[in-house]
Amino acid sequence: MGITVIRYTIIQTIKCKFEEALMISYQNIKEEVVKITKELSIEDVNDIFYGIILEKKLQQAEDDIKNGRVYTTEQTKEKLKKWFK
């Protein structure tokens, strides 16, 4: 067996073990989430979803800033003037 085949076999084995570990972790996490959500009130669930949505919006805003998708103060004032007419 050549060295390339041995490396490939080792990489595939490691990849398989890693994927198995991820699936076990995912199943454990999923079970815990289901267990916890069954114990929550609707207010708690609403708070959690609000937090998730807020976090996502903040991440999108940070991405926009990093990628230069921003408005100047003057551009913002012009947009606001149109909205409040």
pLDDT digits (tens, 9 = 90+) for 2-32: 667 667 777 777 777 777 777 777 777 778 7
* Domains contained in the chain, number: 1
The answer to whether 37 touches 45, Cβ cutoff 8 Å, is yes
* Structural domain of 43: 3-83
pTM exceeds cut of 0.75: no
Contacts 24+ apart (CB under 8 A), 2-7: none
pLDDT at position 50 over 80? yes
Q: Which residues are within 8 A (CB) of 70 and not within 5 positions of it... i.e. 6 or more apart?
A: 64
pLDDT attached to residue 1: 52
